[in-house]
Structure 1
Amino acid sequence: MHSVLEVLYVIGAEKKKDQLEEGYKLSPSGEIVPDYDNTIKYFKEGDVIKGTVIRIERDEVLVDVGYKSEGVIPQKELSIKPQNPKDICEVGEEIATLVMQKEDSEGRLILSKKRADYEKSWDDIEKASKENCTVKGTVIEIVRGGLILNIGVRSFLPASLIDLNRKKDLSQYMDQELECKVIEINRSRNNVVLSRKALLTDDRQSEKKEVLEKFEVGKKVKGKVSSIVDFGAFVDLGGIDGLIHISEISWEHINHPSEVLTIEQEVEVAILDIDKEKSRVSLGLKQTQDDPWKEKLKGFEIGNKIKGKVTKILPFGVFIEFNDNLEGLIHISELASKRVTNPKDVVEIGQELETELMGIDLSRRRISLSVKQLEKDKKVEDKQEAKTAEVAEKEEKPTE
């Protein structure tokens, strides 16, 4: 059994324990003493720890990290760029710091905010690289071949990967914040390579899909000529470029697209074809304009007699020009009533021929002519005229 004194001692100790403030404990003898084991943090140099800013001086910042003394962040350890300490943090703010020295020559705990930020930045960059996410940084320097960005660490953005098209003047990017993708990373060598072009390409692909969904074959849209090449011209339709093939630029024959179009020219075009799988759009400029060829054919009908000059002689037939630069084909089988094996045997360049209009193909812009049909018609007409004359002659003879 316990004595009355022992019981009273235990009860008194329990009351003391209930009254303890945070950071204190009861000693084996029952006295209230500081609890250093639970209040003082234990860490080693190189660890990243959190603390609360308690004072900001001109050349240093004091931080409470739960150690036996406040930690000190020298001004040069606050950020990569020299700044006023008050512009970097404020009293009461919780910040992450890296332990540089547990005790310097003066017994102070020396911390670094910029190194803690640096380590966190590396962790964030590695995570962004693995998850194919983007990072943001400010352009702090222009170097040969590209830009230097501060994304928490110095990183390199090659000139060829800044935009979709290579930019010659890089000074326009100085002090700008750019969003990029991480394409190469080596933490041990402090090497990070970025690409803004990769991000813009992804965005462009998304835009292309959205734009393509709105397009329909036959629809007329407006755009701006972005580039001209030998085989046609590309038109920016707002998110995607479409191609006008040289054959779809003008109803008349042209040798080069630049004869009709110029860079930055605004045009209205017709959508001829859409390839969603390859994100390609085929356009036509001439389809938005009246076809002068059709205008020239107004008034012509099948069976009309047409005179023209021979302009080309080919193995399959002869082309003749008539009525203000219209051209028609007389197939070899339509050159004469008799069989023709070589068109050069019956016609020559510059010769005038009288033909009959056999057909007009508006979609293919082709006119079919015939000499043979005209000759047949003439024979029929001659026979008809002879018969008519014979009848008339009989009617004129007096009856006996």
Structure 2
Amino acid sequence: MTEELNQVEVRSFQVGDKVKGQVTKVEEKQVLVSIENSKIDGIVPISELSSLHVEKASDVVSEGEELDLEVLKVEEEAIVLSKKKIDAEKAWEDLTEKFQSGAIFDAQVKEVVKGGLVVDLGIRGFVPASLVESHFVEDFSEYRDLTLSFKIVELDKEKNRLILSHRAVVEQEKGKQKRAILDAVQPGKVVEGTVQRITDFGAFVDIGGIDGLVHISQLSHQHVDKPSDVIEEGQKVTVKVLSVDRDNERISLSIKETLPGPWSNILEKAQKGSVLEGTVKRLVSFGAFVELLPGVEGLVHISQIAHKHIATPFEVLKEGQKVKVKVLEVNESEQRISLSIKELEDKPEEETYELPEESKGFQLGEVIGDMLKNLKS
């Protein structure tokens, strides 16, 4: 009689019915549940517990837990139920809403597989390796069981396809940080940064989440042929903000502006009366410009080049020539230095004409007259 009643009650269920059940026993490969408002037990196979692969049923459910289930099969004395179908149905509704709104949500990484990560959201979500981080990751093993923030980038219920991206969240956050920095940074501000990238025309420096460009002309007070000659990637630097283009998200920076200028303390470096060695940089009609220190030139006026009269500096000097000079005057405020080369050279003796002994006592005119006669004869 009991069997007949059970069969009658079993037949009252239809495939697709939604029921609630309480877990009464967890076996290795299946779960037994008591169906609400029924004396019939149901069976949930391990394959119907989750959208992901499950090794043990106890990894998913525990005794006493209440589950929402769907009827898969109606057998003579038992009902086969599915948990994952209900979970998936609820998940698709929730995920569709998240996809349409662009929502960010947290989820735990359940598996690390070839090509990416797997997340259980009621349905299987896949995170391709290229969408995990904004930088390259060689080994994803440490990501297992991590809880990360995700955005849905592809959703197709018919193909049961759900693609997630953690990288999109990271880049979105970076974008917010970048905008905040752009709004906060002001020209003239001095900040610390790290050299991220070096190019032929300068260096990109990270100043806290956004890169600014230090043009090659702003790397040093000295002439720079290649940025890599004076700076390297990863180097910590102090930079001054020159300009901010918020529309195009560009920041111009200077390292040179934070360094002491070549003329600072010039009175100590080139003291009046001191002798220095320099290089002739430019020759002009009125003299020669000699570089004493990087970025510091002094003028040797044409009158200070040689003791003898010269028409142009080109007669005795050439560009690139090393010369010793004496500092005559220094004007730090106007950045001018007067130099002399001839002050370091011996003054040639003046040629004098000695009168013959016998001519002494005669008038100069008489002597010259006699000399002229001798020349004529």
Please give the TM-score of this superposition, normalised by the length of structure 1: 0.62
Q: Specify the alignment match of 1:266 in structure 2.
A: 236
In structure 2, which of residues 27, 45, 53 is the aligned counterpart of residue 74 of structure 1?
A: 45
Contact 2:150–2:166 (8 Å) recurs in 1 = yes
What is the CA distance between 1:91 and its match in structure 2? 4.8
Distance (whole Å) between structure 1 residues aligned to residue 332 and residue 249 of structure 2: 36
Q: Specify the alignment match of 1:203 in structure 2.
A: 173
Q: How does 1:374-389 map to 2 (within 5 A)?
A: none
Matched, 1:60 2:25: no
Matched, 1:285 2:255: yes
Q: Which amino acid aligns with 1:160?
A: S
Q: Specify the alignment match of 1:36 in structure 2.
A: none
Q: Which amino acid aligns with 2:54?
A: P
Distance (whole Å) between structure 1 residues aligned to residue 251 and residue 19 of structure 2: 57
Distance (whole Å) between structure 1 residues aligned to residue 320 and residue 235 of structure 2: 42
Q: Mean Cα displacement is larger for which, 282-291 or 172-181?
A: 172-181
Q: Secondary structure at the match of 2:163?
A: strand
Q: Specify the alignment match of 1:89 in structure 2.
A: 61
Distance (whole Å) between structure 2 residues aligned to residue 317 and residue 166 of structure 1: 62
Q: How does 1:1-400 map to 2 (within 5 A)?
A: 44-47=14-17, 49-58=18-27, 59-67=30-38, 69-79=40-50, 80-82=52-54, 84-101=56-73, 103-104=74-75, 106-135=76-105, 136-144=107-115, 146-296=116-266, 311-312=281-282, 320-324=289-293, 326-327=296-297, 349=319
Q: Secondary structure at the match of 1:264?
A: coil
- Quick one: structure 1 residues 204 and 268, their matched pair in 2 at CA, closer, same or farther if it must change by over 3 Å? same
What is the CA distance between 1:255 and its match in structure 2? 2.2
Q: Secondary structure at the match of 1:292?
A: coil
Contact 1:54–1:91 (8 Å) recurs in 2 = yes
Distance (whole Å) between structure 2 residues aligned to residue 54 and residue 149 of structure 1: 25
What is the CA distance between 1:139 and its match in structure 2? 4.9
Contact 1:148–1:154 (8 Å) recurs in 2 = yes
Q: Which amino acid aligns with 2:33?
A: L
- Quick one: structure 1 residues 299 and 51, their matched pair in 2 at CA, closer, same or farther if it must change by over 3 Å? closer
- Quick one: structure 1 residues 50 and 238, their matched pair in 2 at CA, closer, same or farther if it must change by over 3 Å? farther
Contact 1:52–1:92 (8 Å) recurs in 2 = no
Q: Mean Cα displacement is larger for which, 59-68 or 218-227?
A: 59-68
Distance (whole Å) between structure 2 residues aligned to residue 361 and residue 40 of structure 1: 103
What is the number of equivalent residue pairs in this alignment? 308
Deviations 1:306-349 (A, max 9, x none): x98753579x999732434534799xxxxxxxxxxxx999x964
- Quick one: structure 1 residues 236 and 317, their matched pair in 2 at CA, closer, same or farther if it must change by over 3 Å? farther
What is the CA distance between 1:232 and its match in structure 2? 2.1
What is the CA distance between 1:196 and its match in structure 2? 1.8
Deviations 1:71-100 (A, max 9, x none): 322333223332544553345543221221
Contact 2:23–2:67 (8 Å) recurs in 1 = no
Q: Secondary structure at the match of 1:165?
A: coil
Distance (whole Å) between structure 1 residues aligned to residue 290 and residue 204 of structure 2: 34
Contact 2:21–2:69 (8 Å) recurs in 1 = no
Stretches of structure 1 that go unaligned for 5 or more consecutive residues are 1-38, 301-306, 331-342, 370-400
Distance (whole Å) between structure 2 residues aligned to residue 99 and residue 290 of structure 1: 80
> Percent same amino acid at aligned positions?
31
- Quick one: structure 1 residues 267 and 64, their matched pair in 2 at CA, closer, same or farther if it must change by over 3 Å? same
Distance (whole Å) between structure 1 residues aligned to residue 232 and residue 108 of structure 2: 38
Q: Mean Cα displacement is larger for which, 239-248 or 135-144?
A: 135-144
Larger relative CO (CA 8 A, sep 6+): 1 or 2? 2
Distance (whole Å) between structure 2 residues aligned to residue 41 and residue 261 of structure 1: 81
Q: Secondary structure at the match of 1:188?
A: coil
Stretches of structure 2 that go unaligned for 5 or more consecutive residues are 1-8, 271-276, 301-312, 339-377
Distance (whole Å) between structure 2 residues aligned to residue 313 and residue 130 of structure 1: 72
Distance (whole Å) between structure 1 residues aligned to residue 63 and residue 117 of structure 2: 36
Q: Which amino acid aligns with 2:155?
A: I
Distance (whole Å) between structure 1 residues aligned to residue 21 and residue 288 of structure 2: 93
Q: Which amino acid aligns with 1:242?
A: G
What is the CA distance between 1:46 and its match in structure 2? 3.2
What is the CA distance between 1:290 and its match in structure 2? 0.8
Contact 1:310–1:318 (8 Å) recurs in 2 = no
Distance (whole Å) between structure 1 residues aligned to residue 283 and residue 164 of structure 2: 63
What is the CA distance between 1:134 and its match in structure 2? 2.5
Q: Specify the alignment match of 2:341 in structure 1.
A: none
What is the CA distance between 1:216 and its match in structure 2? 2.7
